[in-house]
């Protein structure tokens, strides 16, 4: 299995200024064969959706450390739909409290990956989602 030919946007919404986690996952995805685009820090949901559309990615990974993941996922999803791109998937990574996992999945995220998860498990789940 590999992510060869898949296009993935790693985006950092929200206000926190840490992108170590985002960079780790970006490099791991590249090493699994994906074409990875990275947005840099503090992007709005609208910005992220716009880049996802122009770059025609298969999935957007939202890397988040603090707070408002629910709103950000909902808002990104709303923008993608508005741009005729509701089929672009979203996964969420970072420090996500266990109690929020179910809600994020119900909101439509295809995966929720916390920083404790082994990287191989994250990669193989993303591969499964993109098949």
Partner 1 sequence: MTRLDPRSRRALGRTLTKLASASVAESLDHGARQPTSDRDTTRIGFTGAPGAGKSTLVSRLAKRRLAACRDQGGIAILGIDPTSPLSGGSILGDRIRMDNIVNEPELYIRSLSSRSANDGLADNVADLLDALDSHGFCEVLLETVGVGQAEHAVRHAVDSLVMVLQPNAGDAVQAMKAGILELADIYVINKADLVGARKTASEVRGIVQRHRDTRTWLPPVIEVTQDGEAGLAELDDAISQHLDWLSKRRDPTETRRLRRRYHVQSLIVRRVAELLGEQPQLLDEPTLRDTYRKALQTLAGDEAATDPEARRDTW
Provide the terminal-to-terminal Cα distance of the chain, rounded to the nearest Å. Answer: 10
Is position 103 an interface residue for partner 1 (rule: CB under 8 A)? no
**CA diameter of the chain:** 35
- Between 53 and 103, name the residue whose CB sits nearer to partner 1: 53
Residue 65 to residues 4, 31, 33, Cα–Cα distance (Å): 28, 24, 26
Is position 32 an interface residue for partner 1 (rule: CB under 8 A)? yes
Mark the segment that binds partner 1 (CB under 8 A) among 60-68, 76-84, 92-100, 108-116.
Answer: 76-84
Q: H or E segment at 94?
A: strand 89-94
H helix count then E strand count, the chain: 5, 5
Is position 33 an interface residue for partner 1 (rule: CB under 8 A)? yes
Is position 98 an interface residue for partner 1 (rule: CB under 8 A)? no
Q: Where does this chain bind partner 1 (CB under 8 A)?
A: 2-5, 7, 26-27, 29-40, 47, 50-51, 53-56, 82-85
């Amino acid at each position: 299995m590999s992510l060869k030919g898949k296009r993935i946007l790693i985006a950092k919404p929200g206000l926190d200024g840490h992108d170590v986690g985002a960079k780790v996952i970006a490099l791991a995805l590249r090493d699994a064969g994906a074409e990875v685009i990275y947005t840099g820090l503090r992007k709005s949901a609208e910005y992220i959706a716009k880049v996802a559309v122009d770059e025609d990615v298969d999935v957007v990974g939202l890397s988040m450390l603090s707070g408002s993941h629910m709103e950000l996922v909902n808002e990104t999803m709303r923008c993608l739909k508005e741009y005729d791109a509701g089929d672009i998937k979203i996964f969420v990574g970072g420090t996500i409290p266990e109690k929020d996992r179910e809600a994020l999945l119900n909101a439509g995220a295809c995966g929720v990956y916390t920083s404790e998860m082994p990287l191989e498990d994250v990669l193989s789940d993303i591969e499964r989602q993109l098949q």
